[in-house]
Amino acid sequence: MSSVELKSIVKKYGEVTAVASIDLSVESGEFVTLLGPSGCGKTTTLRMVAGFIRPTSGTLSIGDVDMTGVPPHQRTVGLVFQNYALFPHMTVRKNVEFGLKMQKVLTSERGPRVQEALELVQLEALGERMPAELSGGQQQRVALARALVIRPDVLLLDEPFGALDKQLRDHMRVELRELQQKLKISTLFVTHDQDEALSMSDRIVVMSEGKVSQVGKPTEIYEKPQTRFVADFIGRSNILVGKVESKGKTINAEGLILPNKGNVVAGAEGISVMIRPECVEITQSGSKATSTSADVKGKVTASIYLGSIVQYSVQINKGPNLVVTQNNTGSENLKNLTVGDDVDVSFPDSAIYILPG
């Protein structure tokens, strides 16, 4: 049984197409993330599931019931907003109770259910506080409790971590995922943050310009992007355009000769080759180089220290400029590389990925 299913959903505003024919499903207990840059249609899609926006065409079902034209208050969805949207004039308890009151749950039944929801997010002690007296993380938990207490068919999260600082965000990410797995609640999560998407999701739906670019597990999305957009958007990457040479043995990517790992047919042109910066190895020229697939020489043109990693720009001799990152292990080799140094560059097999199509 799928909790949410979108079939050929289209949303147009006059001439502008916000969402162009999306098919999407969230299976029971699954955590699905809509990932994409702002304006890609991910929030519009979420708001259509919540019922605030009516699709121009297509069908939408929740819990296998057609909900396409049903107003939001008749859908059982739990929604957590980016700004939490806690009711400022009600206590935490009243906030959580509101949904039960609207669904005409008996007063006697409401108390225990509110308590249960507050315990779930570890806020049972703060029930009488007003939202303004809570920290960002606590507000976020109230919003979650309020959405969960009505026992929704699906939990919808609209960039819920956007307003938190980095440390708290990382913490809440783990907490939310644990809670979701404990309750086995189907979840549709919207974010533009790839770290959140990669770390929390069962499946990721990458969206761009109102269309789905790729659907897959986090590892598939990161390691085997299906389109140039996905490769560009997820993680840092060097994307080079090349053609197959030497009877199909090598690929010439903007002057850089690489082995034809993907066995692309001879003579093919305009192939996109993705090289992940963290997979490329560089060593100072003259030092002993490891024997790997394609050794070339280059020169460091820029170096940016980012704490856990160091990011270099390396100009390959007679070739392209590549971004290369190295883990900051404190090694001598790393510390000695400065702008202007000549380096040996090598590409392990895992570093080269040829985009399909």
Q: Which of 36, 51, 63, 298 binds other proteins (CB under 8 A)?
A: 51
Distance of CA 166 to the CA centre of its chain: 16
> Site for other proteins (CB under 8 A): which residue of 87, 124, 162, 320?
87
Partners of 353 in the beta sheet? Answer: 274
Residue 36 binds other proteins, judged by CB under 8 A: no
20 binding other proteins? (CB under 8 A): no
**From CA 165, how far away is CA 101, in angstroms rounded?**
33
Q: Any contact of residue 292 with other proteins (CB under 8 A)?
A: no
Nearer to other proteins, 91 or 284 (CB): 91
Helix %, strand %, coil % for the chain, to 5? 30, 35, 35
Half-sphere exposure of 90 (CA within 13 A, CB side): 15
- # of chain residues touching other proteins (CB under 8 A): 36
Distance of CA 192 to the CA centre of its chain: 6
Q: For residues 75 and 203, which CB has a smaller minimum distance to other proteins in the complex?
A: 75
Stretch that binds other proteins, among 51-59, 167-175, 202-210, 338-346 (CB under 8 A): 51-59
Q: Minimum Å distance from CB 41 to other proteins?
A: 9
> Is residue 357 within 8 Å of residue 227, measured between CB atoms?
yes
Q: Name which of 68 and 283 has its Cβ closer to other proteins.
A: 68
99 is an interface residue for other proteins by CB under 8 A: yes
- Count of beta carbons in the 10 Å neighbourhood of residue 76: 16
Rule CB under 8 A: say whether 190 interacts with other proteins.
Answer: no
Both tokens of 49, joined, read 């599931």
* Separation of first and last alpha carbons in the chain: 33
Asked if 43 interacts with other proteins (CB under 8 A), we say yes
Closer Cβ to other proteins, 99 or 225, answer by number: 99
Binding flag, residue 103, other proteins (CB under 8 A) = yes
Near other proteins by CB under 8 A, which window of 70-78, 162-170, 241-249, 331-339?
70-78
CA-CA-CA-CA dihedral for 39, 40, 45, 47, to nearest 10: -20
Burial zone of 179 (CB within 10 Å; 0-12 exposed, 13-18 middle, 19+ buried) = middle
Contact between 336 and 344 (Cβ < 8 Å):
no
Residues 160 and 345: their CA atoms lie apart, in Å, by: 41
Longest CA–CA span in the chain (Å) reads: 79
Is residue 37 at the binding interface for other proteins, with CB under 8 A as the rule? Answer: no
218 touches other proteins (CB under 8 A): no
Binding mask 130-169 for other proteins (x = CB under 8 A): x-xx------------xx--x-----x-------------
Can residue 72 be called a binding residue for other proteins (CB under 8 A)?
A: yes
Q: Find where tokens 């059982």 sit.
A: 76
Binding site for other proteins (CB under 8 A): 13, 18, 43-44, 47, 50-54, 71-75, 77-79, 81, 83, 85-89, 98-99, 102-103, 130, 132-133, 146-147, 150, 156
